[in-house]
């Protein structure tokens, strides 16, 4: 909150947007967001940045350096912000809440994705058909239906799949694992959709009722 208030109280004001900063250096960095100036260039990939701090942070993508370490589990990160987000896994903190349904998230980006459930926004369009998706990852998976790409391979029988979830479900054919249990009888299944079909046929449940009783 104190950092946010500095935007209003600082004596160095941006003439473009009115934001205020406590130092002329911070104002100088901010002005580059308007001018587009990026004077700091990566010597490896030539990507440019507005501040030297951003360049240093970017450099870790090339060196693999991860100086920010979680004191709870030991996982390390290249960015301080990523560590800050990770810590919420341990604390359970979910500061970003949907104002429509009150569902909470650890990351602002996850909340932004979730809001599309309510708005119906689908900004990621397939260039080969008329389908659109709310998330870029869903579009990437969909594109494989056009390209035929199947990047996920079963190590047992070498069968290929276009989604990791399909490979995971297939692997249970080999392991015999059946993690989906019917709550009305003692039968178990390797796939959730097989359980739902069983519940409808054997127990006469509707789709909504079946989903509510689906356990894994």
Which pLDDT tens digit goes with each residue over 58-107? 999 999 999 999 999 999 999 999 999 999 999 999 999 999 999 999 99
Q: Is the pLDDT of residue 5 over 70?
A: no
Q: Output DSSP code: residue 48.
A: E
The Cα–Cα gap between 88 and 82 comes to 10
Q: Is the pLDDT of residue 206 over 60?
A: no
CB atoms within 10 A of CB 178: 15
Q: What is the pLDDT of residues 19-42, one digit of tens each?
A: 898 888 888 888 888 988 998 999
Tokens of 91: 């604390």
Q: List the single range of 19-28, 124-133, 189-198, 205-214 with lowest mean pLDDT.
A: 205-214
Compute φ and ψ for 102, nearest 5 degrees: 70, 10
pTM over 0.85: no
Q: Is the pLDDT of residue 6 over 80?
A: no
Tell me the average pLDDT across 135-140. 92
Q: Is the pLDDT of residue 215 over 60?
A: no
Q: What pLDDT does 216 receive?
A: 45
């Amino acid at each position: 909150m104190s950092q946010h208030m500095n935007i209003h109280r600082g004596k160095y004001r941006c003439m473009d947007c009115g934001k205020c900063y406590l130092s002329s250096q911070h104002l100088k960095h901010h002005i580059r967001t308007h001018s587009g100036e990026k004077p700091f260039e990566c010597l490896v990939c030539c990507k440019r940045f507005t501040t030297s701090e951003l360049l240093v942070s970017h450099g870790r993508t090339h060196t693999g350096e991860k100086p920010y370490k979680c004191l709870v589990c030991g996982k390390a990160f290249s960015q301080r912000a990523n560590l800050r987000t990770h810590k919420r896994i341990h604390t359970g903190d979910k500061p970003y809440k949907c104002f429509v349904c009150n569902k909470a998230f650890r990351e602002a980006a996850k909340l932004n994705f979730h809001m599309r459930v309510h708005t119906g926004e689908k900004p990621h369009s397939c260039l080969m058909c008329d389908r659109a998706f709310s998330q870029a990852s869903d579009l990437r998976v969909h594109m494989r239906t056009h390209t035929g790409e199947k990047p996920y391979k079963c190590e047992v029988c070498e069968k290929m799949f276009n989604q990791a979830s399909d490979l995971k479900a297939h692997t249970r054919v080999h392991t015999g694992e059946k993690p989906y249990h019917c709550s009305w009888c003692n039968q178990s299944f390797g796939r959730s959709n097989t359980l739902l079909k069983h519940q409808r046929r054997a127990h006469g449940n509707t789709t909504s009722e079946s989903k509510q009783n689906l356990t894994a």
